[in-house]
A and B are shown apart, each in its own frame.
Chain A
Amino acid sequence: MPIEMSAYKCTNCGQLHHPAHFVCVKCGGREFEPIPLDEEATLVTYTRVYNLPEGYMKPFISFGIARFNNGLCIAGQLETEHPAAGMKLRATVGTVKEGIGQDYLGLIFHAID
């Protein structure tokens, strides 16, 4: 099932990008169409960070880089107690940072039970 986070597909050559680029990394094209990301991804690497920057009222946050089935590798927050490289993840979209007057949405990865 697709989630509301996008890859950006070059309308000229089909190359996928995330984050959005202004110029296609493959053909130089400048037009892209958003393609919803799959729900499933695989964990490539991860960390748990204890010294958080301004604006986070938590003792730690875990982060991971995950590979989607379309080949894109994307960083996100990781909500699983026992991360391991190669584990299957379910990608969701949620609030990754609370801002003044605006919350920031991003990818949050969960372990698939």
Chain B
Amino acid sequence: MREVGIVGVGHTKFGKSGVPFGHLLSLAAVEALDDAGIIPGEGHGVDQVIVASMGAGMINRQHGVASALVDSLNLRPAMAETVENGPASGASAVKLAFMAIASGMADVALVVGGEMMRVVSGWEATDFVATMLHPEAEYNYGLTLPALAGMFTRLCMEKYGIAETDLARVAVKNHANAMHNPVAHIQLVPDLAAITTDEDALIINPYVAEPLHVYDVCPVSDGSAALVLCALDIAARFKHKPIKIAGIGQATDTHAVAERAVPTDLLAVRLAAAKAYAMAGLQPEDVDVAELHDAFAILEIVEAEEVGFFPRGQGHLAVRSGATEIGGKIPINTSGGLKAKGHPLGATGVSQLVELTRQLRGEAGGRQVVGAKTGLAVNFGGFGNNVVATILTKGEE
């Protein structure tokens, strides 16, 4: 199997886009091509283009998005596919591009993840995201991702003694990180007391799905992110020294969340991470920086445990101690995470790897983790029924 690395990154500012969907995808794509030093047109050398989007068909009424993007970018006749794997579409697309290169079928691949969700109302967006739940056992009841996250959060709070303030601390940390990330959707840091214990905290930070408040839930964002991948044996063609994709793991879990044997476990996260560590020949202790899928604050805490950073039931104590802040033992969501950077579904898994690449290149500015050599990303689909973990490493100096 050939080794694969990242030689180009691109990322739009997440938020409300205001441009057509194809244009939004192209913005991140050309930034990544420029970063790699690829000039579209004859001899561009891009063999494969993969676009990740969950809602292009349903929300934007566009199919065949990757084929359209290839033409728009003048990358014909590259192979092209659009990938839908819920909110894990981004990391899935990277995995498939990795496989195309590792197999020898392609030398260079462009992966673009994007979503434009703010063209519909909040309740239409909530309904669209909920269509990935079990149709009979969940969706038809009116269950949504926040509803499942609320029930999961309550179980974890009761079992491990997690307080609502611990969830808010995750949000405050991630918002503080996002202040140093120019592409983040939200640029403000909430005051911990103002959103938890102050008299009017419930007005500023009302319940969405008890016990989850507004600040425990990610926003609805538009945005796109892109990566250029290549075989390490041809990486000398490009401007940047490659960041190696050292490990990828993926696992699935029950579709209906109520069927899980241990309802406080995120088994697919544990299994996906274990596979990625095994492939990379690394351990949780080797990771210097992590992007974990914090669509809900509780997920950052439990994912940090399931990937082996902390023992089960102690993730919230790590948040209290500052271990997950920049400068702590294992900085998590230096980009601002889904909470503050935003969560354009198909873009998220790609965006996480853009952040890790910037960290490992030493290009993360005010949010840089000094000396970071190894990064882990967890991209979480459904309510944890399809999870992709990816490990990036910096080559020897």
Q: Which of A67-106 contact B (CB under 8 A)?
A: 73-77, 85, 96-97, 104, 106
Contact A51–B141 (Cβ < 8 Å) = no
State A51–B213 Cα separation when bound (angstroms).
11
Is the C-beta of B204 less than 8 angstroms from some C-beta in chain A? no
What count of chain B residues pass the 8 Å CB interface test? 35
Contact B154–A75 (Cβ < 8 Å) = no
Give min CB distance, A25 to chain B, whole Å: 8
Give min CB distance, A77 to chain B, whole Å: 6
Interface residues on A, range: 20 to 34
Given contacts A49-B208, A50-B207, A63-B147, contact A73 B258 (CB under 8 A): yes
Contact B207–A52 (Cβ < 8 Å) = no
State A27–B152 Cα separation when bound (angstroms).
29
State A99–B151 Cα separation when bound (angstroms).
25
User: Which of A46, A48, A52, A54 has most B Cβ within 10 Å?
Assistant: A54
State A61–B365 Cα separation when bound (angstroms).
44
State A44–B152 Cα separation when bound (angstroms).
10
The A interface, classified by DSSP as helix, strand, loop or mixed, is: strand
Is the C-beta of B210 less than 8 angstroms from some C-beta in chain A? yes
Is the C-beta of A18 less than 8 angstroms from some C-beta in chain B? yes
State A77–B151 Cα separation when bound (angstroms).
12
Across the interface, B144 reaches (CB within 8 A) one of A48, A53, A64, A74, namely: A53
State A63–B144 Cα separation when bound (angstroms).
10
Give min CB distance, A52 to chain B, whole Å: 6
Given contacts A63-B151, A85-B158, contact A50 B256 (CB under 8 A): no
Across the interface, A106 reaches (CB within 8 A) one of B127, B141, B144, B256, namely: B141
Contact A47–B134 (Cβ < 8 Å) = no
Please, which residues of chain B bring their CB within 8 A of the CB of A48?
Answer: 150, 207, 209-210
Please, which residues of chain B bring their CB within 8 A of the CB of A96?
Answer: 140-142
Contact A51–B208 (Cβ < 8 Å) = yes
Given contacts A51-B146, A53-B144, contact A75 B209 (CB under 8 A): no
Q: 20 other contacts beyond A52-B123, A63-B142, A75-B151, with CB at 8 A cut-off?
A: A18-B256, A19-B137, A44-B155, A45-B151, A45-B155, A46-B151, A47-B154, A51-B146, A52-B126, A52-B142, A53-B126, A53-B130, A54-B124, A65-B263, A73-B258, A74-B137, A75-B257, A96-B140, A96-B141, A104-B141
A-B contacts, 26 of them at CB < 8 A, read A18-B137, A19-B134, A19-B256, A44-B155, A45-B151, A45-B154, A45-B155, A48-B150, A48-B207, A48-B209, A49-B147, A50-B207, A51-B146, A53-B126, A53-B142, A53-B144, A55-B127, A63-B142, A63-B147, A65-B151, A65-B263, A73-B259, A73-B263, A75-B151, A97-B141, A97-B142
